[in-house]
Structure 1
Amino acid sequence: MGKVLYSVTMSLDGFIAGPGGDMSWLTEHIGPNPTVDALIGDIGALLVGNRTFRGDDPHRDTDREGKPFGGGWDGPQFVLTHHAPPTSVPDITFVGDLDSGVAAAKAAAGDKYVNVLGASIARQCVEAGVLDEIFVCVAPVLLGDGVRLFDHPGGTNVKLERIGLTHAPLATNIWLRVVR
């Protein structure tokens, strides 16, 4: 089976969303990135947090709104929530717990990545020992406040090994393996 990957764009000061989950900051930092383009082809399923699923979209008010990777990816999505909507959503499966969500996403992804979207879900995956890799696009901006890449009150020490470093016009990409 494939690996579980947390991929995200982050400000230099460690935020993946601005205050209140605002994603508008990201719009000007989305651009050509060959590493991201290659990664998208290796994603077999998404494991998405509820706040991310219901949250702000950097493609708001465009024809790319609501589409994973701005329409660059299509496939099964598993949203972890205790409050599934009353009506079904195409290509979305709502799951109530992390274990069943990871299992379903891995089964759907086959040999490809399960891509985690959302800081809370990524933290839960780290705590459960199921996160294999982290891919971060570091955007050249300081937000000063918002949703952190990884927030663990009281602290923790998650050892990582860098397995890749590439540059794109609008970001520096860092690929890491979680050391177990």
Structure 2
Amino acid sequence: MGKIITGATMSLDGYIAGPDESGFDLLFQWYGNGDVELPSASPDVPPFHISAASAELIKPEWESIGALVVGRHLYDLTNTWGGRHPLDVTTVVLTHRRPDDRPEDDENFVFVTDGIEAAVARARQLAGDKNVVVNGGQMARQCLEAGLLDEVGVELVPVLLGGGKTLFGELGAVPVQFEGPTAVVEGTGVTHLRYQVKK
């Protein structure tokens, strides 16, 4: 069975999105500043071009992913990535109500309405022996509070956003400690950090 992982690209002042969903152009510059191409399965998202140092870490991590868990907000914000997530895996969407234009689940999107535990369990089924990645923000917070999370990845970029959304949102029980970093990789315009959740 694979791990349950969350992570995000983060500003130096700790935000994964700026005020009013801003700052993504600054946060994700590292996706286009290198010579190594990583393909995208989304018709709306071009291939990524990252540094060799970043690719050495990121490529095997992406290949180890079997399913994703995201919230309805991100699903809507990205306009469903044009119908397929860039990582080319099934995306489990946790929502209060499934979209009217998606009456049935398919190989691209599965909708779960009964909580984070059910969403992660469904993603585990889809992923098989591979890892499940849970989106940052409310999904990450719920997953951590439910004791489901194994690993956290942070892609730290040299920008200050001054406010916005944090990786774990408003945690209900703090402090939370992690083990590591288990990896520190310096890419171009980004430092990759990996931590294990203390169980």
The residue matched to 1:176 in structure 2 has which SS? Answer: strand
Structural mapping, 1:9-88, within 5 Å: 9-22=9-22, 23-31=24-32, 32=50, 33-34=54-55, 35-55=57-77, 68=85, 71=86, 73-88=87-102
* Conserved 8 A contact 1:5-1:113: yes
Q: Which residue of 2 aligns with 1:135?
A: 153
Q: Which runs of 5+ in 2 are unaligned?
A: 33-49
Instruction: Give me the whole-angstrom Cα distance separating, in 1, the residues matched to 2:13 and 2:179.
Output: 20
Report the alpha carbon displacement of residue 67 of structure 1 after superposing the two structures with TM: 5.2
Q: Which residue of 1 aligns with 2:187?
A: 168
Instruction: Give me the whole-angstrom Cα distance separating, in 1, the residues matched to 2:162 and 2:82.
Output: 26
- How far does the alpha carbon of each residue in 1:35-80 deviate from its partner, in whole angstroms, 9 at most, with x for none? 22221101100001122211258xxxxxx76753xx3x10111000
How many percent identity over aligned positions?
A: 37
The residue matched to 1:46 in structure 2 has which SS? Answer: strand
Q: Which has the larger radius of gyration?
A: 2
Question: What is the Cα-based RMSD across aligned positions, in Å?
Answer: 2.0
Report the alpha carbon displacement of residue 118 of structure 1 after superposing the two structures with TM: 3.1
* Conserved 8 A contact 1:16-1:146: yes
Instruction: Give me the whole-angstrom Cα distance separating, in 2, the residues matched to 1:155 and 1:51.
Output: 24
Report the alpha carbon displacement of residue 85 of structure 1 after superposing the two structures with TM: 0.4
- How far does the alpha carbon of each residue in 1:120-147 deviate from its partner, in whole angstroms, 9 at most, with x for none? 0000001000011001100111111111
Report the alpha carbon displacement of residue 165 of structure 1 after superposing the two structures with TM: 0.9
Instruction: Give me the whole-angstrom Cα distance separating, in 1, the residues matched to 2:172 and 2:91.
Output: 32
Instruction: Give me the whole-angstrom Cα distance separating, in 2, the residues matched to 1:8 and 1:103.
Output: 22
* Conserved 8 A contact 2:69-2:94: yes
Relative to 1, partners in 2 of residues 1:87 and 1:65: Cα closer, same or farther, differing over 3 Å? Answer: closer
Q: Which residue of 2 aligns with 1:7?
A: 7
Q: Which runs of 5+ in 1 are unaligned?
A: 58-63
TM-score, length basis structure 1: 0.86
TM-score, length basis structure 2: 0.79
